[in-house]
Structure 1
């Protein structure tokens, strides 16, 4: 019976969708550089905390540019070329980073890595909407996010083991998995962008994005959550090290996050994804805020792990459903650009968050840092609560989106 259900679930989605899921898992398993980049630059290369977190922010600056650019270009030339250029191109700067002789070179490579590595994300989100009708999109995005965290259940712990022996191995592993994902796209993922004379002409204008207040409010909420959330990948390893904890223990805390999402994230995200205009979405962000704020009191591995459970519960009910909200807001011919705005706001949080976190950590201390991170996420929850009436109105009146057979 279980086998029959699995086959039915597989058959409900086109094969190229599953290939994107497999590629996402491969890539996420090897996404080990960013969580350890600040620790590597500070502990291994001898740069200051401010310099180390600034480099992570430069990755974020690149991802901000790459997120919007990737979406914009995918609406014009297609999803597949963006995926291939992004994934294959990002392998170059990540492989060169450990050999960079100066901080300036490291900074330039971190920016280039962020730019190239993040361009593919809006193209994937747009491709999912291209392939599937509206009613299947919440579960499809949940599956993609589940694959991300299946990789995250393995990647950080693997990264911790590798970092304890040789940081250079982290960079080579990530480069290899980027190329692996590119190979999957090359062989098994066709173009999905909707094609028509009318849509091709209309894609030249981005005025609908600038005028969409709901998209802007959602982007602000994502930015605020992201600034707090990315402390977990820049300031958290430094905070834990100050409490006498090592790289492996940090990797295990992140693995708690990925492992919990693997266990229950798919049904949770699918449930919330079918209820986008309820208080579940701002409530999820409120949980993220509570988990971040409580981290201010952590001193042991078990305390860090326990608070990770709280912010993970919020994360799994929020981040997987944002692409569905964006897809529902977007005209079909601007799916990539709308997803690009979302990913750009996420990238901007990567830019601001680590550098701001490093400054607060240095000037005020870890308690103030985590309370501030929780406060920003709390403001995002309020923004989303205010956005609910607008989403209800937009989703009630929007025409059903079209999908492209794949």
Structure 2
């Protein structure tokens, strides 16, 4: 990747040698990604290092609070409903008030409500706090995605998105292993640690992104509304396939721990098995990411969705920790392929004035999947593991078919909104 162009308007005064060396080392290390991006990357990692509550929330409510399985599904769905609001609000706010306030408010607010959720001892308060965690928990995601789309040209976006995704999973690998050990000392510790890391991440964003707190396009230029976004049939069709994929993927954090519990496996075992997901990503994604992003994005999406469906479908055949770990490793390969290009596809089809709202609606589809996944998944699991995991494989097949049908339209839209840079004519 080429380094940023030199500022031709600069004066002839050269910086001190030490400053020049520091600048050269920084440019070599960051590969052209600026300090604002790395501050958001560090905040994303910090936020994820303590992300322990949601994966264990089903265990917590059934074992610590003695809530029935059907009620647990409803509360998880309530939290997912909050996530729908969260993504829409985040997309609107980043277009109106910028990245800094949106990300800080979302992360710090999540920390506060996680703490209250851990302290709640009545069913109604647990449901309310779960809703508020959902409302704030994903607010930062449209902001960070829009920041990347605004800061970098189309060719560099997949790398930046890949690094953010890698940070999420690096933190997740730690949080699942540490959370699996910490839960042995009581669920309260999970809430305290998760709350503290969310607040720390929000403060890091606030202190480090002041100079780039608003989108590159002025606030007044971010015109339009969600009404304009929902008129985009291409986006809606893309999000339909994304929703089907998301319903399958979200089973990993909703019904997978419950299925493992039915097989007599402990919460700590679930933590170790899910750590395989993050470990595979941390190791494999940096190696395969550059290769995948150079391929046709739609083809990468289709292949990834099919591999993920195969992995979840294979879960019906296992019942031991090793078996579950193998299926997790398999569908993680599909996840890596999808996540390497999916946000770049949104950036390529979104008009610049509406990027935040496009990512808000994209995030809303994911939150809708989180809302739907526990309701559908727990019912299917009650009928039998085969019904649950077979349905997951079928949904992935449908999602892959939808992506294949959209290939011509995505290419046409991306070519129109992101024309290739024309080479500069040589001087006469």
Same fold (TM over 0.5): yes
Describe how 1:251-400 pairs up with structure 2 within 5 A. Answer: 251-362=271-382, 364-400=383-419
CA distance in 1, matches of 2:42, 2:201: 8
**Is the CA contact 1:287–1:314 (under 8 Å) kept in the aligned structure 2?**
yes
**Contact 2:83-2:138 at 8 Å conserved across structures:** yes
Distance 1:201 1:155 in 2: 40
1:67 and 2:114 correspond = no
Q: Aligned runs of 1:3-402 on 2, under 5 Å?
A: 8-190=28-210, 191-196=213-218, 200-201=220-221, 203-362=223-382, 364-400=383-419
Which structure exhibits the higher relative contact order, with contacts defined as CA atoms closer than 8 Å and separated by 6 or more residues? Answer: 1
Larger Rg: 2
Q: 2 CA distance for matches of 1:35 and 1:118?
A: 15
Q: 1:375 to 1:151 in 2, by over 3 A?
A: same
> Contact 1:272–1:281 (CA<8 Å) still a contact in 2?
no
1:289-330 residue CA offsets vs partner (Å, 9 max, x unmatched)? 100111011111111011111100000110242111111111
Question: Equivalent residue for 2:8?
Answer: none
For 1:229 and 1:205, the matched residues in 2 are separated by: 30
Deviation at residue 7 of structure 1 after TM alignment: 6.0
Tell me, what secondary structure is at the counterpart of 1:238?
A: helix
Give the unaligned 5+ runs of structure 1: none
Cα distance in 2 for residues equivalent to 1:53 and 1:6: 48
- Offset at residue 94 of structure 1 (A): 0.5
SS at match of 2:186: coil
- Contiguous gaps of at least 5 residues in structure 2: 1-23, 422-428
Query: Would the aligned equivalents of 1:194 and 1:333 in 2 still touch at CA under 8 Å?
Result: no
The separation in 1 between residues aligned to 2:264 and 2:313, in whole angstroms, is 21
Call closer, same or farther: CA 1:123–1:225 in 2, change over 3 Å.
Answer: same
How far apart in 2 are the matches of 1:47 and 1:169?
20
Q: How many residues align?
A: 396
Q: Kindly indicate whether the alpha-carbon contact (under 8 Å) linking 1:66 and 1:118 is maintained by their aligned counterparts in 2.
A: yes
Deviation by residue 1:328-355 (Cα, 9 ceiling, x = unmatched): 1111111111111111100000001012
> What's the counterpart of residue 13 of structure 2?
none
Distance of 2:353 and 2:162 partners within structure 1: 23
Give, in whole Å, the separation in 1 of the partners of 2:222 and 2:182. Answer: 49
Q: Distance in 2 between matches of 1:379 and 1:318?
A: 15
94-103 or 117-126, which moves further after superposition? 94-103
Q: Is the 8 A contact 1:243 1:299 kept in 2?
A: yes
CA contact (8 A) 2:224 2:353 kept: no
Task: Compute the displacement of 1:278 (Å).
Answer: 4.3
Are the equivalent residues in 1 in contact too, given 2:154–2:418 (CA < 8 A)? no
The 8 Å contact of residues 276 and 325 in structure 1, kept in 2 or not, is answered as no
TM-score by length of 1: 0.93
Q: Is the 8 A contact 1:63 1:115 kept in 2?
A: yes
